[in-house]
Structure 1
Amino acid sequence: MRSDSGLFKGLNPTVTIASKVLVIGFVIFCAVLAEKAGAIFQDVSTTVLDNAKWFYLSLVSAVLAFLLYLMVSRFGHIRLGQDGERPEFSFLSWVSMLFSGGMGIGLIFWSVAEPMWHYADNPFTEGMSDAAAGMAMRLTFFHWGLHPWAMFIIVALALAYFSYRKGLPLTLRSILYPFIGERIYGPIGHTVDILTVAITAFGVSQSLGLGVIQMNSGLNNVFGVSNGIGVQLAMIAVITLFAIASVMSGVGRGIRRLSEWNMLLSVVIVAIVLAIGPTRYILNTLLQSTGDYADNLIGMSLWSDANADSGWQNWWTAFYWPWWMTWAPFVGMFIARISRGRTIRELIGGALLVPTLVTFVWMAVFGGSALFEEQQARQAHEQAVAEGAVAADAEFAGGAVLQATQEDTTLALFTLFDALDPGTLGSLLSILAVLLLATYFITSADSGTLVLCTLDSVGSPEPPQPIRVIWGLVIGCIAGALLYAGGLKTIQTASIIAGLPIAVFILVMTLSLYRTLRREPMAAAMLPPQARPADADLDHHSGQDLNTSAGDSRDTREPVLEA
């Protein structure tokens, strides 16, 4: 399956060629016929959300419950590798890479904008009120909390388990082994990997495009740099070169160091905003919103707007869930790549809880600051009405941050910085945010490139260097082409459609993982003898073939199957 010589040495020619043809063909279609493609995908995505919303909501909640069960169950101590193996990266480096690969650019983009949209309008409270402020944070926490990370972790856990524990390739095809066996190396496996490559390429490219647009807005806000396609394409070119250099140096050097830098710079920005912003309000918001989130978690998870069917959920929750699913193969594989040697309990606990708590702090600091500014503006408006300075029937249209958000989402964060300090410190925060966007851009691009190369090379943790350069250039070119042709929205809509087959695959993945874990010797050893599975070999290491009989005593450090 992997070529040993020639142009495709170290690669799977079928996946390498077919995936690039599919990706490039689709990009050309979206770029040339952006309006027509957008209309088609919009109609299909609306139909999918209208009819499959219940499936998305129930699946994501079920996966989260399953992961929490695994974390506290007898399966939690199973190591994702050989029994004596230890993690490759320190906990701090690991968490930094989790955060950078998972939500970096998105958090910066939406940390102010999403609370503002929910504050202005949501189906539960009156807009721009005290209740709306609390609801805005609850909904933001919900959309960026445990549920998206559950999608990433189920993929990461299944990949790490079947690859590092069972010796199968680090690709999505391996998850199907308990059901189809050796046929994962045939057309079925190729199809799974090709589709994974295509979806990953689209998702990464779109994220990079959105990140560059926000960076351009920040530079325009601080330095007056023109806000246009020429500047954005130049930024993509420069940052793509940095991303290629990073991915060439490998996970242990480039990606790890940049991720640690991202965390350090994020802490600096959060500390400054916490210091100059409404500190007491932010801390109270963090505490209250976390409790509010925990108290309403089950209800929010299963709420489907069955009676009103207002459409709000299709714009937000039912839109987010398939969107996170399209990111799950990419982020999940990256998490699996950096998690070898950790136990199931460590992976779930660390990757589910720690990034979620960090996200809550981030959202509370920036979203809370924005809400405080809006609350102050609303109170000033009410005071002006009471004093007769403003007509009694004059409606409050929102403060500066809300109005900027409604005008252009990319301006929300920078408008907040200007509101907190219109002088030097506000400009400094904007510069630091642009710099953070750039480094998150690089880590997203190089981690995405690494995943694409890993799929092309049949799960090799160290793919050939030439394919890293090729995919790095391709990702940059796709982002630039879609930005130039206005096709980013088309790709976003198409990704929602892609969420449906991925959702089905995640369901199969969950069943496959649970089925195999139940036969895991290390887990069975914790059961009473009468409750142990008949095919669980408690005398041998657990890294053996999925089909190995109890009498097979071969060295379990060897791969189960050779590609």
Structure 2
Amino acid sequence: MKKVTPVFWIAVIICLLFIIWGTIPERYLPNGNLQHVTSIIQSSIIEKFGWFYLLSASGFLVFALALIFTKYGSIRLGKDTDVPEFSSLTWFAMLFSAGMGIGLVFWGVAEPLSHYYEPPVGKGQTADSARMAIRFSFFHWGLHPWAIYAVIGLILAYFNFRKDTAGVVSKILKPLFGNRVEGPLGIVFDFIAIFATIFGVATSLGFGATQISGGASYMFPAIQNNFTTQLIIIIVVTVLYMLSASTGLDKGIAFLSNANIILAIALMLFLLFSGPTNFIMDLFTTTIGSYLQNLTAMSFRLSPFEQNTWVQDWTIFYWAWWIAWAPFVGTFIARVSKGRTIREFVIGVLLVPTVFGALWFSVFGGSSVYLEYFQHQNIMDIINQKGQEIALFSVLMHFPFGNVMSYIAIFLISTFFITSADSATFVLGMQSTGGDLNPPNGVKLVWGVIQSASAAVLLWAGGLGALQTASIIAAFPFTIIMILMILSFIKTIKTEKIQRVQFKNPKEE
């Protein structure tokens, strides 16, 4: 533990106190238990600052897109002679697995069906609500979240590899705050990044544990889908991802990330061709156009004149979740993106995962909506009885080899669980050791246990609702830090000397 910084001990102590607080039964703290207090904080943030999340997320997207077309797009994330460390396929697989692997599998069916029955406007169970269901799924998993990741990943990679700055938030903000980041102010910045990472990842791990538990209980009725089963899953997977973390970035994470993407594509293609193929591809094509056409309106959509909490329950939750994940995913993407140009980085991070996510929701969400709209299968009734975590499995069972696909899905969720947690321990290790690109295994072990314990405590305190609450709270202060990071980046990149190639007119020679 010689390499750790003061922020490591401060963050560990506060996180342990949080975990202890969450284990105290409600009867001992009727008005001060974890779920009650965090629910009040979350409600206040959403009520007062929901607009702030929307404006910030859209602002991050505009900033990322603008960088593609500026003269700074040709700047390399590293020295001018550096080349990418990983192949494009491995690079995409790693950022995708870290970015939203578990979430896609969990919400691929559950979200479109929820929007189909309860759309943001109008009546449910109609053709219009079906179109909106897929369009808003594209929206929540498309350009906005990946722009959030791209912004922080780009800034960290730029400062780390081009300016030789330690890959921690406090050092990035030095152009704005000077040497003050070397003291308590810097510790606060780094702690907020660690806090957001822990609870952003804990939310995803909680979703993964509940879906593995739900899938196992759906396939094997003798297994109960309860907290005890979920806790056992968390413990087993914690051991597995700690073993993976000990092998390093080039082996464990890279291998599992490639395996994840291959397995995910195989599952998606199998359902595409065993399901309503023409319907799915027609839906994908038309929804891409509808998504791009309505992108601006959806990006700034609130409901000031209606008593409607749909935007708060879905869009604002998602933007908060992505921002809470941003220090983790951004740091990880930065670490594996050395040698790429700014333009190449932004285009790759924005477009490739967005298109893949759109196809994923068209296949899984489209298949579920097809079953409901055309075949009246009432899958939503099963989900209401057994929970959102069994949505994927209930749909797969309506297609050939449903059992086999369900087993593959459970395995896929487990491997996504491992890669997400594995990557998170690596990032938390970096953030608490002053930006060490190869943090000690002991530090990663501590953070691995803490993030799994946080996920377990949140599930114990209030299930999926508590997980969502934690994300929204953790994201709020880090949104402000992201804005400051952009200002620091702009101030620094203006000092770059861009070499322009001069072309001579042949007639002048």
TM-score by length of 2: 0.93
Q: Which residue identity is paired with 1:420?
A: F
| CA distance in 2 between partners of 1:154 and 1:169 (Å) | 17
For residue 215 of structure 1, what is the aligned residue in structure 2?
Answer: 212
In the alignment, is residue 155 of structure 1 matched against residue 152 of structure 2? yes
Please give the residue correspondences for 1:338-357 in structure 2 after superposition, counting only pairs within 5 Å.
338-357=336-355
Superposition deviation, residue 237 in structure 1: 1.8
Native 8 Å contact 1:173 1:189 kept in 2? yes
For residue 32 of structure 1, what is the aligned residue in structure 2?
Answer: 24
Task: From 182, 186, 190, give the equivalent of 2:183.
Answer: 186
| CA distance in 2 between partners of 1:259 and 1:275 (Å) | 24
| CA distance in 2 between partners of 1:119 and 1:498 (Å) | 30
Distance 1:128 1:152, change over 3 A: same
For residue 75 of structure 1, what is the aligned residue in structure 2?
Answer: 72
Q: Which residue identity is paired with 2:51?
A: W
Superposition deviation, residue 468 in structure 1: 1.9
Please give the residue correspondences for 1:227-306 in structure 2 after superposition, counting only pairs within 5 Å.
227-306=225-304
The range that moved more, 503-512 or 359-368, is 503-512
For residue 399 of structure 2, what is the aligned residue in structure 1?
Answer: 420
For residue 41 of structure 1, what is the aligned residue in structure 2?
Answer: 38
Native 8 Å contact 2:142 2:358 kept in 1? yes
For residue 467 of structure 1, what is the aligned residue in structure 2?
Answer: 443
Native 8 Å contact 1:159 1:174 kept in 2? no
Superposition deviation, residue 319 in structure 1: 2.2
Distance 1:491 1:227, change over 3 A: closer
Per-residue CA distance 1:344-402 (angstroms, 9 max, x = gap): 11111111110111101111100000010011234xxxxxxxxxxxxxxxxxxxx3322
| CA distance in 2 between partners of 1:125 and 1:230 (Å) | 40
Native 8 Å contact 2:91 2:336 kept in 1? yes
Distance 1:516 1:166, change over 3 A: same
The range that moved more, 306-315 or 460-469, is 306-315
Task: From 417, 437, 441, give the equivalent of 1:441.
Answer: 417
Native 8 Å contact 2:372 2:379 kept in 1? yes
Name the larger-Rg structure: 1
For residue 556 of structure 1, what is the aligned residue in structure 2?
Answer: none
For residue 489 of structure 1, what is the aligned residue in structure 2?
Answer: 465
For residue 91 of structure 1, what is the aligned residue in structure 2?
Answer: 88
Per-residue CA distance 1:99-157 (angstroms, 9 max, x = gap): 10000001111010110111001233321011111111111111111001111111111
For residue 382 of structure 1, what is the aligned residue in structure 2?
Answer: none
| CA distance in 2 between partners of 1:38 and 1:477 (Å) | 16
Native 8 Å contact 2:168 2:430 kept in 1? yes
Please give the residue correspondences for 1:373-412 in structure 2 after superposition, counting only pairs within 5 Å.
373-378=371-376, 399-407=377-385, 408-412=387-391
Q: Which residue identity is paired with 1:362?
A: W
Superposition deviation, residue 43 in structure 1: 2.5
| CA distance in 2 between partners of 1:447 and 1:331 (Å) | 8
In the alignment, is residue 9 of structure 1 matched against residue 2 of structure 2? yes
Task: From 10, 14, 33, give the equivalent of 1:18.
Answer: 10
Native 8 Å contact 1:133 1:371 kept in 2? yes
Structure 2 alignment gaps of length 5 or more: 503-509
Superposition deviation, residue 517 in structure 1: 1.5
Q: Which residue identity is paired with 1:25?
A: L
In the alignment, is residue 114 of structure 1 matched against residue 114 of structure 2? no
Structure 1 alignment gaps of length 5 or more: 1-7, 379-398, 529-563
How many residue pairs were aligned? 495
Q: Which residue identity is paired with 1:32?
A: I
Superposition deviation, residue 265 in structure 1: 0.4
Distance 1:474 1:311, change over 3 A: closer
Q: Which residue identity is paired with 1:445?
A: A
| CA distance in 1 between partners of 2:80 and 2:119 (Å) | 50
**What is the RMSD computed on CA atoms of the aligned residues?**
1.8
Partner secondary structure for residue 377 of structure 1: coil
Q: Which residue identity is paired with 1:483?
A: L
Partner secondary structure for residue 63 of structure 1: helix
Task: From 302, 323, 328, give the equivalent of 2:321.
Answer: 323
For residue 145 of structure 1, what is the aligned residue in structure 2?
Answer: 142
The range that moved more, 46-55 or 435-444, is 46-55
Native 8 Å contact 1:38 1:489 kept in 2? no
For residue 335 of structure 2, what is the aligned residue in structure 1?
Answer: 337
Q: Which residue identity is paired with 1:496?
A: I
Per-residue CA distance 1:518-540 (angstroms, 9 max, x = gap): 22123xx4499xxxxxxxxxxxx
| CA distance in 2 between partners of 1:336 and 1:410 (Å) | 32
Native 8 Å contact 2:84 2:338 kept in 1? yes
The range that moved more, 183-192 or 92-101, is 183-192
The range that moved more, 358-367 or 182-191, is 182-191
| Percent identity for Structure 1 against Structure 2 | 39
Partner secondary structure for residue 397 of structure 2: helix
Q: Which residue identity is paired with 2:10?
A: A
The range that moved more, 17-26 or 226-235, is 226-235
Native 8 Å contact 1:211 1:437 kept in 2? yes
Superposition deviation, residue 49 in structure 1: 1.5
Q: Which residue identity is paired with 2:459?
A: L
Superposition deviation, residue 236 in structure 1: 1.7
Native 8 Å contact 1:101 1:443 kept in 2? yes
Per-residue CA distance 1:13-42 (angstroms, 9 max, x = gap): x11111101111112212315673322322
